[in-house]
DNA sequence: CGCTGACTTGAATTCGCTCAACGCGTGTGG
DNA sequence: CCACACGCGTTGAGCGAATTCAAGTCAGCG
């Protein structure tokens, strides 16, 4: 039988990489593909955790809110990242597509069962979760100890890197690329306000570090200098 | 043969909880206990990751530094928490005992092997890592979106809770307890400066929310009000 | 008793926030 | 086609919370 997974773009980079054929076909049997429009939500914070997913294409955000309604984005999920909370009662954060996206979703119950029965899959999941924890902790440093300029510099560099090595278009360098986030969303990622983000953008542009051909596009002109700012 | 694990205080709360007898005895065979003095380091950031551990007793901190030497504490590990980075190349953060502590350490190579061969252990590890990731993400909200007052209120409540349900002395409530962190360390946890922490402490005391019998002791006098501040 | 290091307090400064106005591109309706 | 409104982003002015810099204060200890 023909399998989705055979032609899957992230077959060798996602959680599925290195799984045995029988494991893949089990996943293939319980997974289904789903397209998301930009802005569409996949999971709601506090919901019963009904599904998990692999990101095939696009960028999604994970976020929570404070009691007074301010949003904090907890992370971004790019191509080949894993989404959702296996083995838990509720989803601890909301998930929303920032760009049009393409995901491979599993019912939690199905996925949990397959994972428990196949140590290989569970091991993959563990490695990915550990990696995600490391990344999240590094982000804490940014939130806790950096000023606006450093935050934005780091953000731009990370976005640029992630799209370089996860992008299907796989361009190497620093051409013009599309920002998948609005100014407000960038502010929510970095723990800043929209005005501060805007001012920093303007300043970096004036200083010749970046160019902003349009609202949703950036080009990194002086990577070295940006890395220096990111300190 | 007599096993350490039989009498272990965290036998049923740590990663070891619910493991089968043969798995426990394997861990018992490769683990050894170690006492740490307050201030002693167990792991260094960037080191080759040579060991992992269970915290039996005490409080340890996980931390990184910025390029310019400021520290950010990434998390605290209490009794029954798991420490270290299995299946990774290097340790992504330093670990240092804040109080005198008692840990159960494993050589990474040994631990990884046992974990890979025993899905039960790996599953435990996965659950714990997922939980840790959730906790870390909630902390991001604190770092990114809260003011000094909210940060400190949250910190005091969390410390109080953690010692209530992890403490071997297991007191229920809001008596006087010892802070395992200096002002500087609290500042590093919350992404603040030492002066700001001190001022907030003073204010909370003046407002009757807490008492500070000595530098290293706190009592929560008005938990309700503190929870309100923590918002 | 004086020294040391941790903590507190005060004053000045600064960075990012708030509030407010404005600009620009896009879509809609007259 | 123009007028207009709307959403998003930018810019400016003023403010305020937290930082920085600089003195104190206090407890523990030789």
pLDDT in tens, B54-103: 999 999 999 988 877 778 899 999 999 999 999 988 999 999 999 999 99
Token pair for residue A181?
A: 């986030």
Distance of CA B55 to the CA centre of its chain: 8
Last residue of a domain, one of B95, B122, B140: B140
Residue A170 has pLDDT above 60, yes or no: no
Q: What is the pLDDT of residue A217?
A: 94
Looking at every residue in chain B, the average pLDDT score rounds to 92
Cα R_g (chain B), whole angstroms:
19
Domain count along chain B: 2
Residue A172 has pLDDT above 60, yes or no: no
- Give A169 or A218, the one with higher predicted confidence: A218
Token pair for residue A230?
A: 């990111």
The HSE-up count of residue A3 (CA atoms within 13 Å, CB side) is 16
Residue A32 has pLDDT above 80, yes or no: yes
Side by side, the strands of the sheet bearing A101-107 are A31-36, A101-107, A51-57, A82-83
Interface of A with B (CB under 8 A): 62, 64, 66-68, 70, 72, 74-75, 85-88, 92-93, 116, 119, 122-123, 125-127, 129-130, 132-134, 136-141, 143-146, 190-191, 231
Tell me the pLDDT band of A66, cut-offs 50, 70 and 90: confident
Mean per-residue pLDDT for B113-139? 93
Q: What is the pLDDT of residue B169?
A: 57
Query: Which domain CATH number covers A205?
Result: 1.10.10.10
Residue B213 has pLDDT above 60, yes or no: yes
Are A108 and A57 members of one domain? yes
Mean per-residue pLDDT for A46-51? 90
Candidates B3, B9, B4; CA nearest to B169 is B9
Looking at every residue in chain A, the average pLDDT score rounds to 92
pTM: 0.91
Q: What is the pLDDT of residue B173?
A: 65
Mean per-residue pLDDT for A192-215? 97
Are B222 and B120 members of one domain? no
Candidates A19, A131, A140, A144; CA nearest to A82 is A131
- Distance between terminal CA atoms of chain B? 52
Residue A193 has pLDDT above 80, yes or no: yes
Measure in Å the smallest separation between the Cα of A42 and chain B Cα atoms.
18
Last residue of a domain, one of B90, B120, B140: B140
Cβ contacts, strand D, under 7 angstroms: A 182-184, 194-195, 197-199, 201-202, 212, 215-216; B 147-149, 191-193, 195-196, 199, 214-215
Beta-carbon contacts of residue A137 (< 8 Å; ≥ 6 apart): B62, B64, B74, B75, B92, B93, B136
* Rounded distance between C-alpha atoms, residue A41 and residue A95, angstroms: 6
Are A122 and A217 members of one domain? no
Mind listing the pLDDT tens digit for each residue in A96-118? Answer: 999 999 999 999 999 999 999 99
Percent of chain A exceeding pLDDT 70 equals 95
Candidate from A127, A144, A231 with C-beta closest to B72: A144
DSSP B136-204: HHHHHHHHHH--HHHHHHHHHHHHHHHHHHH-TT---S-SEEE-SS-HHHHHHHHT--HHHHHHHHHHH
Residue B167 has pLDDT above 70, yes or no: no
Bases of strand C lying below 7 A from some protein CB: 6-11, 15-20
**Number of alpha helices (DSSP H) and beta strands (DSSP E) in chain A:** 7, 11
For residue B80, the enclosing domain spans: 4-140
Q: What is the pLDDT of residue A175?
A: 87
Tell me the pLDDT band of B1, cut-offs 50, 70 and 90: low
Last residue of a domain, one of B140, B169, B199: B140
Are A50 and A161 members of one domain? no
Residue B2 has pLDDT above 80, yes or no: no
Are A198 and A151 members of one domain? yes
Are B105 and B87 members of one domain? yes
Are B136 and B169 members of one domain? no
Phi/psi-derived region of residue B194, left when phi > 0, alpha when psi is between -120 and 50, beta in every other case: alpha
- CA angle (B198, B202, B207) in 5-degree steps: 150
Most A CBs within 10 Å: which of B15, B137, B197, B228, as the mutation test of the A interface? B137
Are B99 and B13 members of one domain? yes
A137 burial type by CB count under 10 A (0-12 exposed, 13-18 middle, 19+ buried):
buried
């Amino acid at each position: 039988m023909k399998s989705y997974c055979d032609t899957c773009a992230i077959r060798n980079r996602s959680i599925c990489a290195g799984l045995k054929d029988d494991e893949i076909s089990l996943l293939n049997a319980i997974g289904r593909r789903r397209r998301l429009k930009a802005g569409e939500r996949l999971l709601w914070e506090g919901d019963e955790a009904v599904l998990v997913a692999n990101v095939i294409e696009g960028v999604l955000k994970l976020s929570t809110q404070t009691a007074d309604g301010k949003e904090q984005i907890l992370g971004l999920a790019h191509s080949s990242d894993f989404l959702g909370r296996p083995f838990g009662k509720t989803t601890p954060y909301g998930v929303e597509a920032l760009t049009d996206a393409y995901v491979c979703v599993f019912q939690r119950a199905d996925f949990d069962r397959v994972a428990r029965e196949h140590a290989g899959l569970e091991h993959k999941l563990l490695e990915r979760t550990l990696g995600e924890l490391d990344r999240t902790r590094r982000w804490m440093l940014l939130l806790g100890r950096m000023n606006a300029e450093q935050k934005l510099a780091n953000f731009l560099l990370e976005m640029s890197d992630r799209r370089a090595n996860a992008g299907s278009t796989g361009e190497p360098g620093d051409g013009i690329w599309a920002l998948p986030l609005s100014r407000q969303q960038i502010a929510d990622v970095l723990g800043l306000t929209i005005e501060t983000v805007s001012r920093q953008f303007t300043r970096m542009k004036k200083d010749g570090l970046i160019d902003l051909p349009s609202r949703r596009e950036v080009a990194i002109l002086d990577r070295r200098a940006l890395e220096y700012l990111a300190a």
